[in-house]
Amino acid sequence: MFNFYIEYEYWFAATQLALAMLGMGATLQLRDFLNVFTVPASLLGGLFVQMLLVPVIAWLFLIMLEPAAGLAIGLALCAAIPGGTMSNVFTFLARGNAPLSIALTVVTTLACLVTTPLVLGLLIAEHMPADFVMPAAQIATEIALILLLPLVLGMIFLALLPQYADRFSRNCIRGSVFIILLIVIGATGAGRADPEIFGMNNLLILTGFVLALALTSWLVPLMLGRSNPDSTAINIEVTVRNGNLGLLIKASMFPAVVGVVDPVGDIILMTVLLYGGLAIPLGFLQVYLHGKINRRLTQQQAATAG
């Protein structure tokens, strides 16, 4: 029964990503985030954390803790992908700078066409088999066709049919979440997503990595003098990453084959899935903490203005 999932794992991953990006695109208009580019300090600060510090943190974890190949590749993969669509929702709920969050998601999503293969090549070359060649061109092509093209099509849908865009977006996101659930069920049923095999030590390392990203992306914007709403957007954007893209790249680099045991590929899959399992609850905590601070600041500003 679960051989069907193994045989079509790549297409499960590709479909859920395309649906997620269609749904995100149907919520985006250029005017939503063009203002961010007129005062780009916070955008540049967010890009600095997302595109430079995150890979550096992953590199430090790799050289200091020397995890096994599966976890090392999984951590590098989580570091190489951009922020996810949920970061925009969480930022809005936390009263953060939602246009900044959207701009960061869009810019890093566009940039990952180049940065994702580059980061993967730099971080995990030594962990790959001697005869393995990083499929940079394939990854870039898949990002363009399965991530960026649906994003643009979603934006076109909003422009042409705005009265249906909200329902369309929600249904696309629901479809993506449903397919991710099928991936979890399929991988577990096929014996490829086993928390016991993943191990407590790997889970602790992954948890430390998630917390390191969350802490760094909270402290650095404040050190750069960004406002709390801007810091909120950067903090959540860096923590809540595009696991949808991670699943696709994993399926592309380490495709499942019926009847073939792949312990490294299984650990990579578990790393991506568990990263999301850790980051989403942490995102809700960020919503609560940032929301509390931002509400207080808004009340203080209103009182001062009054």
Query: Residue 107: what pLDDT?
Result: 84
Chain segment 206-254, per-residue pLDDT in tens: 999 999 999 999 999 999 998 888 999 999 999 999 887 788 788 777 7
Query: Residue 135: what pLDDT?
Result: 63
> Residue 79 and residue 216: Cα distance in Å, rounded?
13
Q: What is the mean pLDDT of residues 126-133?
A: 67
Strand partners, 241: 83
* 305 has a pLDDT exceeding 70: no
**Would you give the distance in Å from CA 20 to the centre of its chain?**
12
Taken as a whole, the chain contains a residue count of: 306
> Residue 14 and residue 252: Cα distance in Å, rounded?
9
Q: What is the mean pLDDT of residues 101-112?
A: 82
Residue with tokens 């998601």: 105
Query: Residue 103: what pLDDT?
Result: 83
Token digits of residue 227: 């406002």
What's this model's pTM, rounded to 2 decimal places?
Answer: 0.78
Greater model confidence, 164 or 269: 164
* 10 has a pLDDT exceeding 60: yes
Q: Count of CB atoms within 10 A of residue 26's CB?
A: 28
Dihedral, 253, 258, 260, 265 alpha carbons, nearest 10: 30
Query: Residue 167: what pLDDT?
Result: 93
Q: What is the mean pLDDT of residues 89-118?
A: 82
Residue with tokens 């969050």: 101
Ramachandran region of residue 129, left (φ > 0), alpha (ψ -120 to 50) or beta?
Answer: beta
Chain segment 58-102, per-residue pLDDT in tens: 999 999 998 988 999 999 999 998 887 778 778 877 888 878 887
Query: Residue 117: what pLDDT?
Result: 84
How much of the chain exceeds pLDDT 90, in percent?
Answer: 28
Range of lowest pLDDT (120-124, 166-170, 241-245, 252-256): 252-256
Distances (CA, A) of 209 to 42, 46, 204, 298: 24, 18, 9, 32
Greater model confidence, 9 or 225: 225
Query: Residue 205: what pLDDT?
Result: 96
Reported confidence tier of residue 129, pLDDT bands at 50, 70, 90: low
Tell me which range, 101-110, 138-147, 189-198, is most confidently predicted by mean pLDDT. 101-110
> Residue 43 and residue 46: Cα distance in Å, rounded?
5
Query: Residue 120: what pLDDT?
Result: 86
Average pLDDT for the chain: 83
Q: Count of CB atoms within 10 A of residue 125's CB?
A: 11
